[in-house]
């Protein structure tokens, strides 16, 4: 009986895809439970002078000093302000419990909350109602603050809170290791430079996250290795991606799976312009899209960045499988655009079960440049070339006028009917209860 139950659970909550490029390289997340940390010490900011409606910088700093070597810093339910950015460095086996809402009240740059040089750390909301409110509509310009940044944090998690209306990036993880990010809602204005999650780290599991903005949804940058991104909901976003890549790019063993994208710039964008290094062993599977401008867009001549010296970033062993849904206008922006660097042609690019169709018109195109597949087929796959001699070739475009079988895909009940602008405050959202059609979150959503 127990064996049958366990088998059913594995079927409902698969840990890894059979096609993924790599498993995670060991345990992710904190090493000590919240209960164990609270048994050591609890440091409620109200005991250190923190008050609703006031600046809580000093209270957070004092509470952290008291609990940084073991314990939980608690920001209880309520509305709080932040006028001086919080930088919490060092410590071990501690947590930050964010049950209240922290609102930015000044215009300084930097990071509203900066966690660095720590291990066995957890940032979470026990109620699912905690949030950081950046009020970015007041201040969308260079130098404005990010909401949250982790730097050199190991064995950590961040979950069950919202990041809202950052003036700049929402959440970045730089040179971190063995982390888990999940059950989060991120909402930004409809403007560039408001990235959702940016990560350049190792051994990371990012799952069950919803992002609304006009820039990156969940993006991997260099250097990065052993990263699993799954159950991602990009709504009125820039879409998921990798890059921009430049000199000495070093990215490998990356998997994106179960990614749902609606009304976004693209479903997946891998971008560079010149540069050097490699991106290898990446899998992008189970993508559903609706009303997006681009779908699959590999662009190594990305015009939004200046050209960097070098022959180009070498892409190798890139698998795209089981994509369904629709693009906005396939005659204007086809669902497959693979423009690889002539000086470093892409190799081992494989498209399997790619079935997408246009919402406008009756045709769409596939375009490839200097891109090769390793699959042996009598007819080249889509617009990719085969063989074992990898020389550059000019972009070739194939136009199709018949919809592929099986392109119809499910939608999500939480799809937004319009984006959030940049002239009014964005409300703090409730956490979604689902992030990909038919897939329950791996962890129960707090407050449900």
pLDDT tens-digit map of 118-134: 999 999 999 999 999 99
Average of per-residue pLDDT values in the chain = 91
Q: Give pLDDT, residue 328.
A: 98
Instruction: Identify any residues that bridge with 365 across adjacent strands, giving them in sequence order.
Output: 399
Span 23-202: which CATH code? 2.160.20.10
Strand runs labelled E in 99-170: 101-104, 111-124, 130-133, 146-159, 161-164
Residue range 298-322: mean pLDDT, rounded: 96
Show the CA angle centred on residue 232, arms to residues 74 and 140, nearest 5°: 70
Query: Is 159 an active-site residue?
Result: no
Q: Give pLDDT, residue 9.
A: 31
* pLDDT at residue 236 tops 70: yes
Strand runs labelled E in 146-248: 146-159, 161-164, 171-187, 197-212, 216-220, 224-235, 239-245
Q: Is it true that 23-202 and 237-415 share their CATH fold?
A: yes
Q: Give pLDDT, residue 138.
A: 76
Nearest to 311 by CA among 382, 390, 385: 390
Catalytic residue of the set 140, 207, 290, 419: 290
Q: Give pLDDT, residue 377.
A: 62
* pLDDT at residue 246 tops 90: yes
> Which of 14-23, 107-116, 124-133 has the least mean pLDDT?
14-23
Residue range 334-343: mean pLDDT, rounded: 98
Q: What's phi and psi for 125, nearest 5 deg?
A: -115, 130
The domain at 237-415 falls in which architecture?
A: 3 Solenoid (2.160)
For the chain, domain boundaries? 23-202, 237-415
Catalytic residue of the set 165, 195, 208, 215: 215
Q: Give pLDDT, residue 119.
A: 98
Nearest to 183 by CA among 445, 447, 448: 445
Q: Give pLDDT, residue 162.
A: 98
Kindly indicate the confidence band of residue 350, based on its pLDDT and cuts at 50, 70 and 90: very high
- Each residue's pLDDT tens digit, 399-443: 999 999 999 999 999 998 889 988 888 999 999 999 999 999 999
> Which of 70-84, 155-169, 355-369, 376-390 has the least mean pLDDT?
376-390
- Give the 3-state secondary structure of 43-87: EEHHHHCCCCCCECHHHHHHHHHHHCCCEEEEECCCEEEECCCEE
Q: Give pLDDT, residue 447.
A: 80
Kindly give the residue spans of alpha helices, DSSP state H, lying in 83-162: none
* pLDDT at residue 14 tops 90: no
Query: Is 290 an active-site residue?
Result: yes
d(CA 2, CA 381): 45
- Each residue's pLDDT tens digit, 256-306: 999 999 999 999 999 999 999 999 999 999 999 999 999 999 999 999 999
* pLDDT at residue 151 tops 50: yes
> Which of 82-86, 133-137, 426-430 has the least mean pLDDT?
133-137
> What is the b/e burial string over 245-269, where b = at least 16 CB atoms within 10 angstroms of the residue's CB?
bbeebebbbbbbbbbbbbbbbbbbb
* pLDDT at residue 339 tops 70: yes
Residue range 150-167: mean pLDDT, rounded: 96
DSSP label at residue 137: G
């Amino acid at each position: 009986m127990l064996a049958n139950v366990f088998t059913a659970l594995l079927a409902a909550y698969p840990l890894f895809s059979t096609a993924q490029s790599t498993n995670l390289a060991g345990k992710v997340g904190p090493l000590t439970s919240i209960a164990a940390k609270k048994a050591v010490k609890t440091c409620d900011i109200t005991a250190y002078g923190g008050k609703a409606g006031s600046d809580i910088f000093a209270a957070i700093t004092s509470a952290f000093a008291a609990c940084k070597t073991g314990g939980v810093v608690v920001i209880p339910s309520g509305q709080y302000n932040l006028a001086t950015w919080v930088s919490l460095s060092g410590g071990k086996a501690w947590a930050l419990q964010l049950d209240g809402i922290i609102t930015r009240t000044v215009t300084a740059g930097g990071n509203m909350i900066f966690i660095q040089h720590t291990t066995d750390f957890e940032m979470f909301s026990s109620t699912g109602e905690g949030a950081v409110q950046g009020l970015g509509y007041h201040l969308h310009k260079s130098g404005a603050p990010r909401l949250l940044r982790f730097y050199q944090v190991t064995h950590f998690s961040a979950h069950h809170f919202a990041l809202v209306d950052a003036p700049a990036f929402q959440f970045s993880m730089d040179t971190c290791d063995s982390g888990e990010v999940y059950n989060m809602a991120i909402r930004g204005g409809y403007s560039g430079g408001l990235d959702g999650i940016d990560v350049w780290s190792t051994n990371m599991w990012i799952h069950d996250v919803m992002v609304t903005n006009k820039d990156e949804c969940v993006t991997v940058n260099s250097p990065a290795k052993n990263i699993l991104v799954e159950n991602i909901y990009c709504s009125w976003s820039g879409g998921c991606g990798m890059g921009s890549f430049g000199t000495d790019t070093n990215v490998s063993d990356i998997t994106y799976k179960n990614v749902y994208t609606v009304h976004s710039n693209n479903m997946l964008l891998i971008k560079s312009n010149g540069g050097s290094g490699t991106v290898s062993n990446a899998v992008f599977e189970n993508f559903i899209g609706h009303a997006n401008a681009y779908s699959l867009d590999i662009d190594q001549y990305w015009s939004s960045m200046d050209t960097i010296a070098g022959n180009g970033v070498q892409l190798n062993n890139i698998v795209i499988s089981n994509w369904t849904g629709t693009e906005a206008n396939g005659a204007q922006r086809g669902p497959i655009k693979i423009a690889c660097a002539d000086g470093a042609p892409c190799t081992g690019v494989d498209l399997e079960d790619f079935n997408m169709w246009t919402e406008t018109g009756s045709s769409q195109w596939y375009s490839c440049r200097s891109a090769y597949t390793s699959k042996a087929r009598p007819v080249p796959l889509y617009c990719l070339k085969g063989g074992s001699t990898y020389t550059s070739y000019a972009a070739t475009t194939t136009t199709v006028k018949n919809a592929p079988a099986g392109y119809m895909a499910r939608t999500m009940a939480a799809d937004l009917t319009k984006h959030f602008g940049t002239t009014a405050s964005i409300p703090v959202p409730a956490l979604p209860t689902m992030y990909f059609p038919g897939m329950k979150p791996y962890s129960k959503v707090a407050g449900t």
